[in-house]
Amino acid sequence: MAFDFSPTNEQLGIISMVRRFVAKEVVPVRSYYDEAEEFPWPVIKKMAEIGILCMSGPEEIGGYAWDNLTRCMVMEELAKGCGGIAATPMANILASEPLEIAGNDEQKKWWFSGLCQNGELGAFCVTEPNAGSDVSGVSTSARKDGQYYILNGTKCFISNGSVASKYVVLATLDKNKGARGLTFFLVDREWDGVSIGKKEKKMGNRAADTSEVIFTGVKVPQNFRLGEEGGGFKIAMQSFNVSRPVIGAMAVGISLFALETARAYAKQRHQFGTSIANMQAIQFMLAEMDMQIEAARLLYQKAAWLLDSGKDVIRNSAMAKCFGADMAQQVTSNAVQILGGYGYMREYPLEKAMRDAKLLQIVEGTSQIQKMIIARELLK
Ligand SMILES: Cc1cc2nc3c(=O)[nH]c(=O)nc-3n(C[C@H](O)[C@H](O)[C@H](O)COP(=O)(O)OP(=O)(O)OC[C@H]3O[C@@H](n4cnc5c(N)ncnc54)[C@H](O)[C@@H]3O)c2cc1C
């Protein structure tokens, strides 16, 4: 089998377009949105214009249908510019995945025409106050009532929660059935009974929206049920298999930013009469950062390749996410170390990178949950 790590001409074109976008539209404003904790609508609208806000969806209805590797490469570039701003298209990818897996033509048309053509946002509503890592504990209820399902419950920590127009919501038809009682439903923000609760104030990713979404007696027509009754847990897990390599790619992006900043600083900072880049302790830190980033990139590329080849990806997807996220935490922390006191100051962009990177170890399944998945696959 031939191995070829060179990007295609199409990928090179896309990446250079995204790099220009990041330099012009993201880098100049990332500190502002982080400080202000404001949703970056002007940047998000421009992302929609150049086609990187919704990278999913069938081409016939205006979607981009990019392969997993290309999407990961785009997300690496965006996260290199700003982890927080990149979190919005990331949330669109995650929210669109249940549609890609189980949506019928009508449902896909409803969802992707909004996201891909009108610049709308989607949100993946699974987590609840008492159901985090244990998705089977979801207690938002769906009760059948004639041609409708009635949804009641509160979802928390939802990315794009207060800014989304469309939701994909996991609810239980029978709490006693645990994971087998769960079903996904599509919900429009404008429907009666949908409301937004608390908007979270966060350590990092502060340009991203993270909110509670509350469903109170929401009437969902039967044709807005995604897949079979009881099929929701499986769809959620399959969605994570696709989205986790993207988190790995974001980890690589944030870490590359940290490495570049630390490298440039080390070369110009002088102590004890010489540049700190001449000190072996600093050189070894930089070398380890470079090595770790390269390893994380190979892991996400392999997972994306497996996905694009239609092969089993569970273990590799968890590895790409866990290794990437843990690596980004270490690399950003070491980059702060290389800048010394300046690294700790908010005037410099590195402490933000460290705060943004922390989320990657938590969201879409913590690092501990990824290790459980890898061990389960290893031992089965
Ligand atoms: C900024 C942000 C955005 C988010 N966006 C979304 C979103 O868009 N949609 C959505 O549905 N959710 C979202 N989440 C929720 C996220 O997926 C959960 O926070 C995550 O899955 C962990 O759940 P928890 O916070 O309840 O932690 P818990 O599950 O309570 O875990 C607490 C700790 O216990 C550990 N732990 C739990 N179970 C085990 C176990 N069996 N073995 C070993 N250790 C274990 C965990 O690793 C963790 O360290 C978001 C969260 C954040 C912070």
The domain limits of the chain are 9-121, 123-230, 233-379
Model pLDDT, residue 63: 81
- Contacting residues for 243 by C-beta, under 8 A, at least 6 apart: 90, 93, 94, 97, 364
Q: Assess whether the C-beta atom of 324 lies below 6 angstroms from ligand 1.
A: no
Token reading at 263: 């490298």
Query: pLDDT for 74-102, tens place per residue?
Result: 999 999 999 999 999 999 999 999 999 99
First-residue to last-residue Cα distance in the chain = 28
Q: What atom of ligand 1 comes closest to residue 134's alpha carbon? A: 29
Looking at domain 9-121, what is its CATH homologous superfamily? Answer: Acyl-CoA dehydrogenase/oxidase, N-terminal domain (1.10.540.10)
- Contacting residues for 77 by C-beta, under 8 A, at least 6 apart: 15, 18, 19, 22, 253
**Burial class (CB within 10 angstroms; exposed 0-12, middle 13-18, buried 19+) of 109:** middle
Q: Assess whether the C-beta atom of 183 lies below 6 angstroms from ligand 1.
A: no
Measure the CA–CA gap between 304 and 5, rounded to whole angstroms.
13
Give the confidence band of 233 by pLDDT, cuts at 50, 70, 90: very high
1 pLDDT higher than 80: no
61 pLDDT higher than 90: no
User: What distance in angstroms lies between residue 334's CA and the mean position of ligand 1's atoms?
Assistant: 25
C-alpha distances out from residue 137 to 21, 41, 47, 132, Å = 41, 34, 36, 8
3 pLDDT higher than 80: no
62 pLDDT higher than 80: no
Phi-psi region of 301 (alpha: psi -120 to 50; beta: other; left: phi over 0): alpha
What is the rounded average pLDDT of the residues 138-147? 98
User: What distance in angstroms lies between residue 308's CA and the mean position of ligand 1's atoms?
Assistant: 27
Model pLDDT, residue 34: 98
What is the CATH architecture assignment of 233-379?
Up-down Bundle (1.20)
| Mean pLDDT, the chain, whole residue set | 97
Looking at domain 123-230, what is its CATH homologous superfamily? Answer: Butyryl-CoA Dehydrogenase, subunit A, domain 2 (2.40.110.10)
Give the confidence band of 274 by pLDDT, cuts at 50, 70, 90: very high
65 pLDDT higher than 90: no
C-alpha distances out from residue 355 to 61, 240, 319, Å = 37, 23, 22
Model pLDDT, residue 42: 98
User: What distance in angstroms lies between residue 52's CA and the mean position of ligand 1's atoms?
Assistant: 27
What is the rounded average pLDDT of the residues 129-137? 98
Does residue 336 contact residue 343 with C-beta atoms inside 8 Å?
A: yes
What is the rounded average pLDDT of the residues 281-309? 98
User: Is 76 among the catalytic positions?
Assistant: no
Which residue's CA is the nearest one to ligand 1's atom 24? Answer: 132
Q: Which of 120, 200, 212, 364 is catalytic?
A: 364
Which residue's CA is the nearest one to ligand 1's atom 43? Answer: 368
CA-closest candidate to residue 115, choices 184, 70, 64 = 64
The answer to whether the 9-121 and 123-230 domains have the same CATH topology is: no
